[in-house]
A and B are shown apart, each in its own frame.
Chain A
């Protein structure tokens, strides 16, 4: 099948996965307010994994699986030209796999949480589906307007999800903070789009690229536009110094939402960041190279240093997520095919290990927001060996130990950076990674080397069936990508082919 977008029906086929997700979102929404699900959140009863609220979760999961099928089907569809509003390249489809995986895992780990916290299941799962669709719009957009709308669909759904737990004051506070700061960042982003339009006369990424490379774009306007777009994107990927909201929001939001946020929002922002900067602004590389260089350096250093002193696990993982954003910014700074493929690979692995780690945090916290301190993990490994081993694998992968996907991801990022000769950033990445061992391994050390502080400290830890399923998937894929990274990397490399010209990595540039 070939799509040249001469008819509007072609947009329907090109956006099939997104349309399926939105449709299922609406179905779940309606199902949640009808029949036996109507008051399920008021008096939950029965098994959290099946029946009542869980049915809505399984229904959403079916939606994600069908959307994944549609995404696979899109591999057989060819687009004519590279300038339509919706991209059909493999870069977008790889990103869609990441988002769909993150959505499926989030749904699986939130069953018992939704049940125990008595959240409104219909709205909860529907908003997750809508946020995923928004992320997919961002990845598939070749027009700044569509990127902006996708960003807003995703962000507004996530703002609501952050404040979702009405019985928890912290959740409301986090939601309000995220909303206000997010709206502020949106202003920067939108003004950046407006100035880009002013400088180049188009919002289409392909047309902007032509205008920039031919020198027709007004230089001064373009510089300010790039600066404003960097601010907008940096907020969403929580790069230092635009990271202030991250720890508070990650701590206050319901834990499954935090897992979703740290994976999907970050990945979507990085994918759109990559498309806008590597394709549209490719020939302004000398303008944005120093900005991203410094952002990457500051983010890696400060996030890892602050993470060293955290005592709350969710906050620690928040700073860890900021630090991983810094590693990924290194790939954008390098701006070559190897680094971009490394970024896709890293985003995939990061999604797996981060959602896995948060799943166990939810378990230890009794499917609620109770025990979140690092001291609550003392002796956890010996009382729950399976979960202990899993969490250790996630932490080792986050830290970047050989044999895990996180290690291979960092190797590929370094390889991409070496091709662009970013030696100082590589040194910073290695040194900050070594520093990060301390805060990741401290949790593992408490888990295995200390006795529980009291008898029966970990008796109430429950991991229902869906969560065990998600954990096995996460661990399996992390170990697989750690030991046999070839297949996934080849897939990522094939996905960035034809994305853009990759004029980046001009040797000899240094800020």
Chain B
């Protein structure tokens, strides 16, 4: 097995064993003065039961979030819960364990039958997905500490045009497929290694990642939640499941009066306006294009699958055994003159070079078909995206996109019906929105209304 190293290491520890490894150059002394040897220092670990508390908090937070978004429809509640979750999962638990990173654990477990996947990782991965199937992306709204920290820094949002958003989102799918491939082959947990916000939660860590995190936050001042929308691999899964959710997030508590007040209220570009009527000629052109795209889709999938398989070279080098085999091979071929630490350590194990090469070759093979699958997946998503953009859905009302809506509850207060529904004194624009807009345009702001 290619990813056996870790497994063997874990097994070796689980088997009853005597750990006595030392070079006995000098016999241990016989003390005559009654000297007692101190014990070897080994401070206790944080016990494993804490993970159950994390899961309980997650479950509670998700439930409260669903209640706040769907029943209470309170942005303030969502905001406060978000602060709490940022404090708990972020600064207290240092952003680890999190569902985004848990993707890696799940994929690793899928590829390596001996890998011990923590219970918390499984539940952290599954619970937000189940909630998304029922209530949409309530995890993104209030529970995810990464979302929270970006949400907090958003001060002057700039609307990103749909086309740019659609293109950038492809990055998240590439990231997801790469992360799953690397974890499945036992190479690395990509998401965790390049997690931009964990160093901020820890107030320490790799400087480069720190800079990356800071860059995301600076961009996040103007572009709402850039990591969530354009990179987050878990967001991509939530997006897909949220489209199927039982209870969708709606802008209005009852009916849309098409007042257009919410039109630009979503900093994440998830609100879709009603569609226009299409002309017959447009319709024909669209139909032909759709047919073409549907025909081109398999080609796109095939090309990207081939491309993914061709990437086995650079990708497989993320696996330490392949990297080691590479180094040993180049050294033995005389292309590296300096002997490196990994080569030295490898020689010390007394393992045969042929064994190492065989293992490396097996991993490379895994990367070949894994790369093809990953590439195919990206191709499928790109084709789906192109096809989706060519289909004209019909919408009569202002609606939150079922996949793109982060359930942050910002838009609620923009809807006049919200205030009526809450039993607030009916504002002028709730009764006659058209007149309100006109008045607003003339600079006569309604009294005492401030979302």
Question: Do A and B make up one complex?
Answer: no
Question: Which residues in A have some Cβ–Cβ distance to B below 8 Å?
Answer: none
